[in-house]
Amino acid sequence: MPQARFTAVSDHAVLVQLGDEISDKINLEIQSLDRAIAAAGINGFLESIPAFVNILVVFDPLVTDHGSIEAAIKPLLADVSAVQGRGTERVVRVCYDLDIAPDLSEVAAQAGLSEDTVINMHLGASYRVGMYGFAPGYAYLSGVNEAIQVPRKPSALRDVPAGSVIIAGPQCLVTTLTMPTGWSIIGRSPTEILTDNPRHPFLFDVGDTVRFERIDRATFEAEKGLRHG
């Protein structure tokens, strides 16, 4: 059973923390706890928002309070495990042409590998959605091959297009908005992450697995055109 720390947040939430360092084990435990909380029927519970090492539990302060929520969650910790849940496998298509993958060559140079080897390592890895954060639809994926894990850049680049496939350390992300980033841009994807469905606004759920599939430039342009047509 993981050790948990409970922190009151405002008058309507409790932050439950299972660790201090990001790891697959702790993140899987967070996802297990998220499922347990959702299924427990806790009085006054509204929603839970999982992150890498903690989960925010939001409640109705007119119905319950911090102490009651903490008391309801503590028994659930006994069954929390680091076993992968039944997430859905999602496919993200990506083009690695150098003019839309401006950092691919630098990642290869830092790793002491060829560009094709970096691409194959990126394609061959197993990715899992650990959390959402920073911007709408920004799903942080764990699983980048250790051989191509490069640090963040010293400064961010502005106006990075939506759909950019970016990596930093052990994490990968597909951008959904035109925004600055200090991560390395190794490809571009036409796959729509924002769904326009209010009941399921993002392609991924936390706990899903992601597989990248390589496409050529013509396919990328065609699918991008269809998306914006």
Which residues touch 17 (CB under 8 Å, ≥6 apart)?
4, 5, 6, 7, 53, 54
Helices vs strands, H then E, count in the chain: 5, 13
Is there a domain that residue 84 lies in? no
Answer yes or no: do 140 and 37 share one domain. Answer: no
Residue 228 has pLDDT above 70, yes or no: no
Answer yes or no: do 96 and 181 share one domain. Answer: yes
Answer yes or no: do 186 and 99 share one domain. Answer: yes
pLDDT per position as a tens digit, 139-180: 999 999 999 999 999 999 999 999 999 999 999 999 999 999
Q: Work out whether the CA dihedral 112, 117, 121, 122 comes out positive or negative.
A: positive
State the residue range of the domain holding 11: 5-79
CATH of the domain at 208: 2.40.100.10
Q: How many domains does the chain have?
A: 2
pLDDT per position as a tens digit, 120-132: 999 999 999 988 8
Domain-ending residue, one of 79, 103, 127: 79
pTM given for the model: 0.83
Q: What percent of the chain has pLDDT over 90?
A: 77
Answer yes or no: do 29 and 121 share one domain. Answer: no
Is there a domain that residue 95 lies in? yes
For residue 3, the model assigns a pLDDT of 86
